[in-house]
Amino acid sequence: MSVQPPRQSSSTHQEDETLLETLISTPLAPTKAWQKPIVLRSLDEHRRYALKGYRLRTWVDHWLHHAERLFSIAALLIFIVWAVDGPIRDWWRAQQAVRHAAPVQAALRATAVVRVSAPATPDRVVPANVPLPFTTPDMQQPLASEGFLAPRAIISAPEDGQRGSLPHRLIIPDIDLDTPVIEVFVVDGAWQVADYAAGYLHGTGLPGDPGNMALAGHAGLRGAVFRDLGRLRAGADIFVDAGSWRYQYRVRDTRNVWPTEVNVLDPTPTPTLTLITCTNWDTQRLIVIGDLVGAQLLTGD
């Protein structure tokens, strides 16, 4: 049995001959127009070839990678230190204070209030051209040896031996504040700010005496004893303990000033209290000014 050859064989052969003649008769393209030879590569090899110079790691990439890790670790450590030394420390101190603190109103037991007429005293010495105290938590509690002037515990007092003492306690019932007072000094051209206490600015007036007594405190971390100072309004009472006396001041004015407006610390002819803390993101200082209205002899709290 004979097998018939495919019918398309002749036509296919004719097409091949025509294509061959065409290729032979067609002039060659210029050398510059020649295409690069095709190269067969695996997927990984082709990826490496295509991304060469872009995603391949060099020594710079490795250095940046390690630097990124070190920066992340350093940022984490800084945050942990800030949290432990800031909010956690404040929370712990607050918990301890709650266990032992008595209500502020209980500290103001009723006693006879007498008007104060203090003898004149020499003007206090306040460092000039020193900006108002900063309330950032970058300064520690003052040391006796760091004073701008010679530190002292008691200024010369009148004959009763009680007047003229440094303030040691501040009570403001309207904002539920009852805090100790620590004397602070000018160190390296800046006022210290006490932690977890109000700071009595060395060289300002004394309680009950003619002059301007200035107290400063934190509004953020480190106890933030003056965080609610902005709530005080004219007529609010402020009590300052010194020696065996409790002096009562009444708020007259509140204002915001720039840190360079040190005139708020100028001496006054009458007994005056000036409270200072930061405000407006520490760009200004909140000032509360009060006048002495009376004093009472402490009978023991």
Q: Is residue 182 located within the same domain as residue 257?
A: yes
Lowest average pLDDT, out of 115-124, 129-138, 152-161, goes to 152-161
- Which of 118-132, 144-158, 198-212, 219-233 tops mean pLDDT? 198-212
Residue 3 lies in a domain: no
Residue 133 lies in a domain: yes
Residue 204 lies in a domain: yes
pTM (two decimals): 0.62
Average pLDDT score over the chain: 78
Whole-number pLDDT of residue 9: 65
Q: Is residue 120 located within the same domain as residue 83?
A: no
Q: Is residue 246 located within the same domain as residue 112?
A: yes
Contact 210, 121 (CB under 8 A): yes
Domain with 183 in it: what CATH number?
2.40.260.10
- Which of 56-70, 150-164, 179-193, 243-257 tops mean pLDDT? 243-257
pLDDT confidence of 247, banded at 50, 70, 90? Answer: very high
Residue 268 lies in a domain: yes
- Which of 31-45, 185-199, 226-240 tops mean pLDDT? 226-240
- Per cent of the chain over pLDDT 90 is 40
Pairing of strands 271-279, 211-216: parallel
Residue 25 lies in a domain: no
Q: Is residue 149 located within the same domain as residue 208?
A: yes
Write out the residue range of the structural domain in which residue 151 sits: 104-155+162-297
